Amino acid sequence: MAVYNYEAAAYYNYIKKQEKKLDDLKFPLKTVVISIDDYSVGFCECQKDGTVKMVGQKNSSDKHSFTDELNKFIQIVAIDSNIDIFNRTMRLYYQSEMQKNVPIVGIADMDCEKVNEIFTNVYQPMEELLSSMEDLWKTSNFDQEEVEFILFGKGAIYYPVIYLTKSVYSFDPMLPDERFVNDTYTDSPEQIERIGQAEMTKKSYQNYEIYFEAVNHAKMTHQQLNVTFCLDENNIQYLEPIMISEGDKLVFYIQSKEVVFDIPFSIEKNQCDVIQIGAGVKENQPVIYLRKVGNPMEVFHLSLD
């Protein structure tokens, strides 16, 4: 698992705190990021300016995927189709101190007791990991009582996982625990990493300067047009149409450095075409977007990496 994933989840926690405009935030914001799907944990610090640094990380020796293992014993597709009912049922089961054992909606011959047994067995590598991190707590200078825990990944959408994780750190996992922040956010644990990565990328390029100056040096007008970066390909802001012909070049100034691109498609001799230029971020890297006015669905990407 890439280190960036832990940092993205920690940054997600940071931006959600900023959106709430909390006055009592203490920095650095210390977040224990728990990746359920690959049985791993990252300790991250986030400064007031949003700078994130991972200060510790540990993986389970178990290299399996949590959801793959879970799917061997229970139909997770059936659970997912009734996820709200499933989570509510299992929550009531744990609240009843495992006395209210009822059938699971949508899965034949499956009740709460069997579900709990399955989740407990599949979760075991994670439980063993979380219970054996004394060295990581010490070297990272993290205090269990002052950190925040955030779970992300597909496996974190299931209530038994939340219950089992809280059981490691809470006297009573059914009592409210402000350290576990997932319940305070509306986004699914599956979305946390993606949203965090997108926001980190946006922050990285918020002061990125790029200008389109001319099509051809012989025709240079010295008119600099600012190109705004956009993270969503469907919302790229394109410049006004530009006419190009065979042999023309695209001239950009990127962070004050001149970069010249050939037209990424062929134009017949003595013919011309009309294009539009935009800029965005694709796979966490800045790229130039170029599309033909006559065929706007055909988009070319010019990498700036």
**% of the chain exceeding 90 in pLDDT:** 66
Question: Is the model's pLDDT at 97 over the cut of 90?
Answer: yes
Q: Which amino acid is at 31?
A: T
Phi, psi values for residue 184, rounded to 5°? -90, -5
255 phi and psi angles, rounded to 5 deg? 50, 45
Interval 282-297: pLDDT, tens: 877 788 999 999 999 9
Q: Which residue, 32, 56, 37, 50, is CA-closest to 179?
A: 32
The yes-or-no verdict on residue 214 having pLDDT over 80 is no
Indicate the pLDDT class of residue 2, thresholds 50, 70 and 90. Answer: low
Q: Give me the mean pLDDT over the 252-264 stretch.
A: 87
Helix (H) or strand (E) holding 120: helix 112-130
- With tokens 């013919």, the residue in question is 271
Sign of the CA dihedral running 70, 170, 173, 15 = negative
Is the pLDDT reported for residue 224 higher than 50? yes
Residue 187 has pLDDT above 80, yes or no: yes
Q: What is the mean pLDDT of residues 250-264?
A: 87
Q: How confident is the model at residue 249 (pLDDT cuts 50, 70, 90)?
A: confident
* Rounded distance between C-alpha atoms, residue 71 and residue 84, angstroms: 18
CATH code of the domain occupying 3-203 = 3.30.420.40
Weakest mean pLDDT among 9-18, 131-140, 253-262:
253-262
pTM as predicted: 0.79
For the chain, domain boundaries: 3-203, 210-303
Element (H, E) at 4: helix 3-19
Q: Which residue has the tokens 């051809």?
A: 216
Ranges 53-57, 125-129, 206-210, 293-297: which has the least confidence: 206-210
- pLDDT tens by residue, 139-176: 999 999 999 999 999 999 999 999 999 999 999 999 99
Range ranked top by mean pLDDT from 100-104, 270-274, 285-289: 100-104
CA atoms within 13 A on the CB side of 170: 17
1: confidence class by pLDDT, cuts 50, 70, 90:
very low
pLDDT tens digits for 17-60?
A: 999 887 788 899 999 999 999 999 999 999 999 999 999 999 99
Q: What does the pLDDT read at residue 226?
A: 62
Assign residue 246 a region: left if phi > 0, alpha if psi is -120 to 50, beta otherwise? beta
Q: In the prediction, which pLDDT does 128 show?
A: 96
What pLDDT, on the 0 to 100 scale, is given for residue 261? 92
pLDDT in tens, 110-124: 999 999 999 999 999
CA–CA separation, 186 and 150 (whole Å): 13
Asked whether the predicted pLDDT for residue 220 surpasses 70, the reply is: no
Q: Residue written as tokens 């004394």?
A: 134
Q: Is 70 exceeded by the pLDDT of residue 263?
A: yes
pLDDT value at residue 284: 73
Least confident stretch, 111-120, 129-138, 233-242: 233-242
Give mean pLDDT, residues 1-18: 86
43's CB contacts (< 8 A; 6+ apart) are 30, 31, 32, 33, 54, 55, 56, 57, 136, 140, 142
